[in-house]
Amino acid sequence: MTQSDLLSSPKKYSSLDGAIKAIKEMKNDPLANAGTNIVISRGNPNAKLLIVGEAPGPQENIQGKPFVGKAGQLLDKILEAGNFDTEKDVYITNSVFRMPPGDEGSNFRKPNDTEIEYYRPFVFEIIRQVNPFIVLLTGNVASQSILGKTGITNLRGKWIQSQNIWIMPIFHPSYLLRNQSKAPGSPKSLMWDDIREVRRKYDELMAG
């Protein structure tokens, strides 16, 4: 089950801009002292397709927008393959709004449970404000944030309906960058199946 109590609970802010302002002003952010910038969203706030990623990486930290590095470029290509206009049809956010600073040998790391939990109510508020038909969760961190579960290989490609929202976990584009095979059953070919199914469902929901 999804954490549908959060999706169905009333909006906390009167507008998306109000929610974003509150996020920028939030207190007790576990990553506030990480020395990284706040990165919240990009795309069309009226879009019917919303994507939740993991956390900003170095490029996103510099540019202040999610998914603008290599993984983001691949995400845009995947969306374009599904015939989505990445400016018009999509709104993109993350599970965590600051890049978690890395340990030795790397300049960033995956967000931990405390960080995911801290940001979760804000991510849900963004979803409630945008009110999309479809939410795609890229990888385990986004699935943990929104569904409270991980295991992307099993979760991917399956719809979960919560309120009026259709949610589908998909692979994270960074995983595809590490697995370049296009053979049947490979992550890339499964992603292709998933984006086609997303297109089908999107058309069905848009037709009302």
How far is CA 207 from each of CA 193, 200, 201, 202, rounded to the nearest angstrom? 21, 11, 10, 8
111 binding ligand URA? (CB under 6 A): no
- Closest by CA position to 30, among listed 108, 119, 104, 95: 119
| 71 touches 108 (CB < 8 A) | no
Name residue 54's beta-bridge partners. Answer: none
Q: Which is nearer to ligand URA, 141 or 165 (CB)?
A: 141
CB of 10 to ligand URA, least distance (A): 28
CB of 27 to ligand URA, least distance (A): 23
Which residues from 120-149 bind ligand URA, rule CB under 6 A? 138
CB of 22 to ligand URA, least distance (A): 20
CB of 37 to ligand URA, least distance (A): 12
C-alpha 181 chain-centroid distance: 24
Q: Which range in 28-36, 61-69, 146-154, 182-190 contacts ligand URA by CB under 6 A?
A: 61-69
Sort residue 14 into left (φ over 0), alpha (ψ -120 to 50) or beta: alpha
Q: Give the containing element (helix H, strand E) for 77.
A: helix 70-81
56 binding ligand URA? (CB under 6 A): yes
Contact with ligand URA (CB under 6 A): which of 43, 53, 111, 187? 53
Angle at 134 between CA 21 and CA 187, to 5 degrees: 110
CA distance 157 to 196: 10
67 binding ligand URA? (CB under 6 A): yes
CB of 105 to ligand URA, least distance (A): 19
Q: Which range in 65-73, 101-109, 160-168, 184-192 contacts ligand URA by CB under 6 A?
A: 65-73
| 120 touches 145 (CB < 8 A) | yes
Name residue 95's beta-bridge partners. Answer: none
91 binding ligand URA? (CB under 6 A): no
Contact with ligand URA (CB under 6 A): which of 43, 66, 82, 132? 66
CB of 135 to ligand URA, least distance (A): 14
Write the single-letter amino acid at 88.
K
Give the residues lining the site for ligand URA (CB under 6 A): 53-57, 60, 66-67, 69, 71-72, 94, 138
